[in-house]
Amino acid sequence: MAKKLTIERILHSQGFGSRKACRMMVRHNWVTVSGVACEDPFAEFDTDKLKFTVDDEPWEYREQAYLMLHKPSHYECSHKTLHHPSVFSLFPTPLIERDVQCIGRLDEDTTGLILLSDDGQFIHRLSSPKWKVPKVYEVTCKHKVDEAQIAELLKGVQLIDEPTPIAALACTKISDNVIHMTLAEGKYHQVKRMVAAISNRVEALKRIKIGEVELPKDLAPGEWRWLTAEELHALTHTEKL
């Protein structure tokens, strides 16, 4: 819903710093609104589709942040990393200041689609086990995968420390060594452990789909973008499995 806010509050809500810092940005002529310089931090603007620049960088007002990232290899999904750079280093500072969080994590050597947001309800819906949002992984295996192994993954394989067998929702052979596996759970190293249970080994792992949202072919590793309205609707209007 559109609302009117002062430019100071708009900048603060979008992660550009404290209210005082945002006032100073405006007074130092760092800010334009809809192409017009703004010098009054208390000037009010309608936030609906509001476009502005800060230090010549273009932005659009968004009440909540809904993002996708093509995670590269050797990045960690954490602010406090151990051995590799953080995925958050791939985003501009205002989004970090808004406290966007990864919705689920990928191992440092796993690539592909990650969603991020600062909307707690959205994060909970996509990460809650109750909703069982399906995720599709492209799995490159060390050895050729045969139909019997595909059948095992669909029937369910027994993993150490799990009380019952774990089955893939779907599993499709793409080539001799590549399969697409769909899961609705997020257990520790689940794909790698399931592939090991059929006497094979994961050589490369990439998440290519979450719910009905696919990793875009034109989004290169390390690149991010905002979710479209259609993608957001698809993620928030799915039924429980």
Residues carrying an active site annotation: 107
CA 67 distance to own-chain centroid: 6
DSSP 90: G
List, in sequence order, the alpha helices (H) in the chain: 7-13, 19-27, 93-97, 120-127, 147-155, 190-197, 229-236
d(CA 44, CA 86): 37
In contact, 31 and 17? CB cutoff 8 Å = no
Separation CA 219–CA 28 (nearest Å): 36
Residues 6+ apart with CB under 8 A from 39: 26, 27, 29
CB 213, CB 135: distance < 8 Å? no
Closest CA to 205 of 107, 130, 121: 107
Q: What is the DSSP string of 157-176?
A: B--TT-SS-B--SEEEE-SS
Query: Do 133 and 105 contact (CB within 8 A), yes or no?
Result: no
